[in-house]
Amino acid sequence: MRTSQFPLNTVKETPADAEIASHQLMIRAGLIRKLAAGLYSWLPLGLRVMRKVEKITREEMEKAGALEVLMPGLQPAELWQETGRWEQYGPELARLKDRHQRDFCLGPTHEEIITDLARNEIKSYKQLPITYYQIQSKFRDEIRPRFGVMRSREFIMKDAYSFHLDQESLQHTYDTMYQAYTNIFNHLGLKFRAVIADSGSIGGAVSHEFHVLADSGEDAIAFSTDSEYAANVEKAEAVAPTGSRATATEALTLVDTPDQHSIEEVCGFLNIPATQCLKTLIVRGEEDTLVALLLRGDHNLNEIKAAKIDGVISPLQFASDEEIAGACNCKPGSIGPIGLKIKVIADHSVILMSDFVCGANQDGKHYKGVNWERDLPVPDHVTDLRTVVEGDPSPDGKGQITLARGIEVGHIFQLGTKYSEAMKAGIINEGGKNQIMIMGCYGIGISRVVAAAIEQNHDDKGIIWPANLAPFQVALCPMNMHKSERLKEASEKLYRELQAAGIEVLFDDRKVRAGFMFSDMELIGIPHCIVVGDRGLDSGTVEYKARTADANEEIPFADVIDFLKAKLA
């Protein structure tokens, strides 16, 4: 391609609403343009990149044996009513009425549609297992669309759905998909982690998220220093400590802690480390009860874990000040477990504490030198309540937890029978009986991958595309070609040779200054740049610069193709 025929839409200004690097760079490099809040048009350069993500994804789906289909974006309400999601789904579901006043929505996902298709097409166990996928526009009416295509209202997804006779078959396809996803992100050249995830509102027991690692990522990921273990921080297990409790050395004392409410304030006031202070939080339980959750002062409550405890309301609801006053006779800053009349649930770390500090259930007072068994009973219910921190042992016993930030670009779920049961998607099994199918589902945010790749790979000059994502592999930049017929001829010849060699080359034949040309090529992130100039022609050389290198290299003109082929191999 030539820039005269494939015009670049680079701009100098960073749009005011672009908060993160990928959003800024996608606008500046001319990959996308905003149409309205959360709605973007893909310009030719951006679409070239997205098509590469699609292609790599499609190849791996085919290899995994998935069959491509294309379902409508417009979905009738009736199917969503069958699963109950018409009512459950919030305002993110864009709804509309057709001219006959029938209810439809714009699909954010296609579980209902594929389950309907499957219950009609799949009649016998002999047709199982089967996996369908599609690559398509999805819609989500975000309350606050932002970060460009990272959180937009219309986006491109690859979604796949599998149907099975039994859990073993689901696990097999799930593993195949896990491997396909791993291949996709490897092939895309992205640093990523597959992490154990919470399956959230989609349902199902087992799920993994695929995160592209980037400091700006919205999600925190915990992974092991020494093993493959990785989990969303929401889900990462804090292993119960193995040591034993130290013997009590202090006496139980009631101390004044006037106006000291937070853990930091109390620890500062009493001059103790946060590890020595107990944190007591009151949440709502079922049947109008309250529940006290105990954590070590330096640990944070993991609300997802807490909400999964029997008897605790999910999603987690914190008690109001009035409810706390009613149950503990004090304000939130002075609660403690001694004498507390409500159910108490302790994190594993808590029961190894000794000589600790906790609230005294009297405003402005705490206990010091508290010890389990001597001063209060060890709680009956001890579990994992906290969010993991750096240095925690890895749950698989290998290495320690380290934290990173990630951008979720893929998610695979073992759905089980949530949708097939609700929609009566059954088949005749080998015994001639009707049996509900078991399902899996597997998504990749195709458009989001483009943004995540930039978030991970950029510098102050612009985008640094991984080889397989670059819109062009090589930029051919002649310097002042319009002033030198000889240079023009040599450049055109080299362009033809590069094309003939199957190299995706962008020939910058614009009449612009060299500096302008280079900064455009850096901004749009072309991995390899060949600079041809009159001086080089004299010595029979061109200059080569890798996007990531600081300095140029001189290459004999005659070697350019072989040199680039080696670089691209």
Specify the residue for token string 């509900």: 436
Burial class (CB in 10 A: 0-12, 13-18, 19+), 204: buried
Near its own copies in 113-132, by CB under 8 A:
113, 116-117, 120-121, 127, 130, 132
Rounded CA-CA distance 319/304 in Å is 16
Per-residue binder mask for its own copies (CB under 8 A), 521-550, x = binder = ------------------------------
Q: Which two tokens stand for residue 487?
A: 């240079």
Rounded CA-CA distance 489/485 in Å is 6
Rule CB under 8 A: say whether 430 interacts with its own copies: no
Burial class (CB in 10 A: 0-12, 13-18, 19+), 123: exposed
**Using CB under 8 A, which of the segments 97-105, 254-262, 381-389, 473-481 binds its own copies?**
97-105
Maximum alpha-carbon separation in the chain? 94
Q: Whole-number minimum distance, CB 305 to its own copies, in Å?
A: 31
Looking at 13, 16, 36, 431, which residue binds its own copies (CB under 8 A)? 36
Near its own copies in 51-80, by CB under 8 A:
65, 67-76
- For CA atoms 460, 465, 467, 471, the dihedral sign is negative
Specify the residue for token string 């006037």: 258
Rule CB under 8 A: say whether 9 interacts with its own copies: yes
Q: Whole-number minimum distance, CB 7 to its own copies, in Å?
A: 6
Q: Whole-number minimum distance, CB 455 to its own copies, in Å?
A: 21
CB 122 within 8 A of CB 437: yes
Rounded CA-CA distance 417/203 in Å is 9
| Strands (DSSP E) found in 343-437 | 343-347, 356-359, 365-370, 381-383, 401-416, 426-428, 434-436
Looking at 106, 263, 370, 415, which residue binds its own copies (CB under 8 A)? 106
Cβ distance to its own copies smaller for residue 196 or 439: 439
Rule CB under 8 A: say whether 512 interacts with its own copies: no
Rounded CA-CA distance 58/61 in Å is 5
Cβ distance to its own copies smaller for residue 6 or 563: 6
Rule CB under 8 A: say whether 191 interacts with its own copies: no
Near its own copies in 137-156, by CB under 8 A:
137, 139, 141, 143, 153-154
Q: Whole-number minimum distance, CB 88 to its own copies, in Å?
A: 16
Q: Whole-number minimum distance, CB 494 to its own copies, in Å?
A: 22
Is 458 in a helix, a strand, or coil?
strand
Looking at 15, 33, 191, 492, which residue binds its own copies (CB under 8 A)? 33
Positions touching its own copies (CB under 8 A) are 5-7, 9, 33, 35-36, 39-44, 47, 50, 65, 67-76, 91, 94-96, 98-99, 104, 106, 113, 116-117, 120-121, 127, 130, 132, 136-137, 139, 141, 143, 153-154
